[in-house]
A and B are shown apart, each in its own frame.
Chain A
Amino acid sequence: MKQTIKDGEFSFMDKKLERILPRVQKPARYTGGEYNQIIKDKREVELRVAFCFPDTYEIGMSNLGMSILYHTMNSLDYVWCERVFAPWGDMYEEMKKADIPLYALESGDPTSDFDVLAFSIGYEMAYTTVLDMLDMSGLPIRSSERESLLPLVVAGGTAAVNAEPMAPFVDLFFVGEGEELDNELLALLRVAKREGWTKRAFLRQAAQIGGVYVPSLYDIRYHEDGTLAAIEPLEGAPARVVKRIVEDLDASPFPTNPIVPSTEVVHDRVSLELFRGCVRGCRFCQAGYVYRPIRAKKPETLIRQGIETLKNTGYQDVTLLSLSTSDYRPLERLCDGLLAYCEERSIGLSLPSLRADNFSIELMERLQKVRKSGLTFAVEGGSQRLRDAINKNVTEEDLLNTCRIAFAGGWNSVKLYYMLGLPTETDEDIVGIAEMANQVLHCWRQHAKNKNRGVKITISTSCFIPKPHSPFQWEAQISVEEYLRRVNLLRSSITAKNVTYNWHDAETSLIEAVLSRGDRRIADAIELVWRRGGRLEAWSDYFTVERWMQAFADTGVDPYFYTLRERPVDEILPWDMIDVGVRKAHLVREREKCYASELSPDCRRQCMACGATKLLKERGCDE
Chain B
Amino acid sequence: MNEKLRLRFEKTGRAIYISHLDLMQTMQRAFSRAGYALKYSEGYNPHPQISIALPLSVGAASCCELMDFRLAQEAELSDMPARLSAVLPEGICVLEAYEAQRKCAEIKWLQIEGRFDYDERDGAAMCEALRSFYSREQIVITKKTKRGMGETDIRPAIQSLVFRATEDGVGLSGRISAQEPTLNPELLAEALRQLTPEIAPDFAAFTRVETYDAAGEIFR
Q: Which residues of A contact B (CB under 8 A)?
A: 2-5, 12-13, 15, 18-19, 21-22, 26-28, 30-35, 37, 260, 262-264, 311-316, 345-346, 370
Contacts and interface: CB of A to CB of B under 8 A. Distances in A.
B103 interface: no
A144 to B, nearest CB: 38
Given A314-B30, A346-B46, A35 B88 contact: yes
A4 B22 CA distance: 20
A532 to B, nearest CB: 32
A346 B40 contact: yes
Given A18-B205, A311-B33, A34 B17 contact: no
Q: Say whether chain B's binding surface is mostly helix, strand, loop, or mixed.
A: mixed
A79 B46 CA distance: 44
Closest 5 CB pairs of A and B: A314-B29, A33-B14, A314-B32, A33-B90, A22-B59
A533 to B, nearest CB: 27
Interface residues of B, number: 33
B28 interface: yes
Contacts of A32: 14, 90
A313 B33 contact: yes
Interface of B: 13-15, 17-19, 22-23, 25-26, 28-33, 37, 40, 45-46, 58-59, 85-91, 117, 202-203, 205
A604 B160 CA distance: 77
Contacts of A313: 29, 33
A35 to B, nearest CB: 5
Nearest to B85: A2
B14 to A, nearest CB: 3
A312 B13 contact: no
Given A18-B203, A314-B29, A264 B22 contact: yes
Contacts of B59: 21-22, 27
Nearest to A310: B32
Contacts of A19: 202-203
Q: In the complex, which of the residues B13, B30, B203 has the most CB atoms of chain A within 10 Å of its own CB atom? A: B13
Given A263-B22, A314-B33, A4 B17 contact: no
A554 to B, nearest CB: 41
A103 to B, nearest CB: 13
A439 B186 CA distance: 60
A28 B18 contact: yes
B152 to A, nearest CB: 21
A335 B162 CA distance: 62
Contacts of A21: 17, 59
Nearest to B44: A370
Contacts of A4: 90-91
Given A18-B205, A22-B58, A33 B46 contact: no
A316 B45 CA distance: 14
Contacts of B91: 4, 33
A233 to B, nearest CB: 47
